[in-house]
């Protein structure tokens, strides 16, 4: 079992942004990864963070993962909305194309390969893993300002 915090954001929306994930073990940060993009959105960076976190877990042979995200968009998207999106040909209930579909398709494939427990955590609430992700996201974003 591996516990991973994820975060993504940008300066302006769209604008330059960053993503990060932090692997936590027994309350201590054991590993982290981050990156960014000069022109992106908050939601794309949130999705990029969880996709990279799951790819990392898979690369080290870990199949049981708890993802802690402060993004309701990610948590609700992968645990609730995605089923109707796929049933509706990647369309929303309003018949509009699902935004960021290519990210959702990749995340869905990883989610199906692994045993992921999706949990939401409140952002900016002093939670070590989440705060470290937020710091890394700001650092990555600053590279493009």
Report d(CA 55, CA 49) in Å as an integer. Answer: 10
Edge-to-edge, what's the strand order for the sheet holding 2-10? 28-40, 15-25, 2-10, 64-69, 115-120
Asked about 70 being catalytic, the answer comes back as yes
Asked if 37 is an active-site residue, the reply is no
The active-site residue out of 27, 89, 124, 126 is 124
Set 8, 17, 36, 129: catalytic member:
8
One of 70, 77, 132, 140 is an active-site residue; which one? 70
Which residue in the list 37, 132, 134, 140 is annotated as catalytic? 134
Q: Does the active-site annotation cover 106?
A: no
Please tell me the distance from the alpha carbon of residue 6 to that of residue 52, in angstroms, as a whole number: 9
Would you call 7 a catalytic residue per the annotation? yes
**Residue 104 to residue 110: CA distance in whole angstroms:** 10
Q: Which residues contact 123 (CB under 8 A, 6 or more apart)?
A: 7, 70, 130, 134
Residues forming a β-bridge with 4: 23, 67
Single out the catalytic residue among 46, 77, 129, 140.
Answer: 46
Is 46 annotated as catalytic? yes
Query: Which residues belong to the active site?
Result: 7-8, 46, 70, 124, 134
């Amino acid at each position: 079992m591996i516990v991973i915090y994820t975060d993504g954001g940008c300066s302006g929306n769209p604008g330059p942004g960053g993503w990060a994930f932090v692997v936590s073990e027994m309350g201590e940060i054991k590993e982290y990864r981050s990156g960014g993009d000069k022109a992106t959105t908050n939601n794309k960076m949130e999705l990029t963070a969880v996709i990279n976190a799951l790819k990392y877990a898979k690369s080290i042979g870990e199949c049981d993962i708890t993802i802690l995200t402060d993004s309701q968009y990610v948590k609700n998207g992968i645990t609730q909305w995605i089923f109707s999106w796929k049933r509706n040909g990647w369309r929303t209930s309003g018949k509009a194309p699902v935004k960021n579909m290519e990210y959702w398709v990749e995340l869905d494939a990883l989610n199906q390969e692994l045993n992921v427990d999706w949990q939401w955590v409140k952002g900016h609430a002093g939670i070590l893993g989440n705060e470290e992700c937020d710091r890394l996201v700001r650092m990555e974003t600053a590279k493009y300002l």
